[in-house]
């Protein structure tokens, strides 16, 4: 059983989110379009009404303005300005692809670091695999979260990583797994 599952979205779809287990947290990342403040407000209000955590990617100003649970810092963001944010309950999380990016996320103040891709994906044939994931995980005291290529056929291999949290996109979109999914 996982403590947390994180699901990535790029637009607010009330029906899609409503079908998910209430303990699945949402990471809103919209890199292609300009942020719609109306859509963001609806997203946050809907998630809060469900007592679901919601994070926004790469936009601290909107994260604070709309009372998100935190900010998600993607691997390409190297700016260190996030570490000194002190707001009760506000969490800084981020993603990395290698040990150097993990170290940068530590400097940015991330409490959880999504390490990806652990398995092959449609977009990325190069994956870390369980062994390399675990070697990188040994170099930090932060909570490392596997992301990328996780599905029903390889979920049991996540047990070899000794993690309590996972991040997923297509697997959740396809199956809507619950928080109890997995070998824990």
CB-based contacts of 26, cutoff 8 Å, min separation 6: 6, 7, 9, 17, 43, 47, 52, 53, 54, 55
Q: Domain 4-175: state its class.
A: alpha beta
Chain centroid offset of residue 108 CA:
16
Strand order in the sheet with 112-115: 143-146, 112-115, 91-96, 70-73, 54-57, 24-28, 4-9, 165-168
On whether the CB atoms of residues 167 and 147 are closer than 8 A, the answer is yes
Residue-wise pLDDT tens digits, 21-45: 888 999 999 877 777 899 999 999 9
pLDDT, averaged across the chain:
87
Cα 55 from Cα 64, distance rounded (Å) = 10
pLDDT at 184 over 70: no
Cα three-residue angle 47-53-56, rounded to 5 degrees:
90
Per-residue pLDDT tens over the stretch 150-173: 888 888 888 888 898 989 887 777
| pLDDT tens figures, 73-122 | 999 988 877 666 778 889 999 999 999 999 999 999 999 999 989 998 77
Q: Give how far the C-alpha of residue 85 lies from the chain's centroid of Cα atoms, to the nearest Å.
A: 19
Share of the chain above pLDDT 90, in %: 52
77 sits in the region (left: phi over 0; alpha: psi -120 to 50; else beta) called beta
| φ, ψ (nearest 5 deg) of residue 37 | -65, -30
CA–CA gap between residue 35 and residue 166 (Å, rounded)? 26
């Amino acid at each position: 059983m996982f403590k947390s599952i994180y699901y990535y979205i790029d637009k607010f779809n009330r029906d899609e989110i409503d079908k998910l287990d209430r303990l699945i947290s949402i990471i809103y990342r919209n890199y292609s379009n300009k942020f719609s403040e109306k859509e963001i407000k609806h997203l946050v209000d809907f998630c809060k009404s469900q007592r679901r955590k919601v994070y926004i990617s790469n936009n601290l100003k909107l994260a604070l303005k709309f009372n998100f649970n935190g900010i998600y810092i993607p691997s390409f963001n190297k700016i260190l300005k996030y570490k000194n944010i002190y707001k009760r309950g506000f969490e800084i999380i981020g993603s990395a692809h290698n040990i150097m990016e993990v170290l940068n996320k530590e400097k940015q103040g991330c409490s959880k670091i999504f390490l990806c891709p652990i398995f092959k994906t449609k977009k990325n044939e190069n994956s870390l695999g369980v062994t390399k994931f675990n070697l990188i995980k040994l170099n930090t005291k932060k909570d490392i979260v596997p992301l990328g290529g996780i599905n029903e056929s390889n979920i049991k291999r996540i047990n070899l990583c000794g993690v309590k949290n996972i991040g997923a996109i297509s697997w959740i979109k396809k199956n809507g797994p619950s928080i109890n999914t997995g070998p824990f």
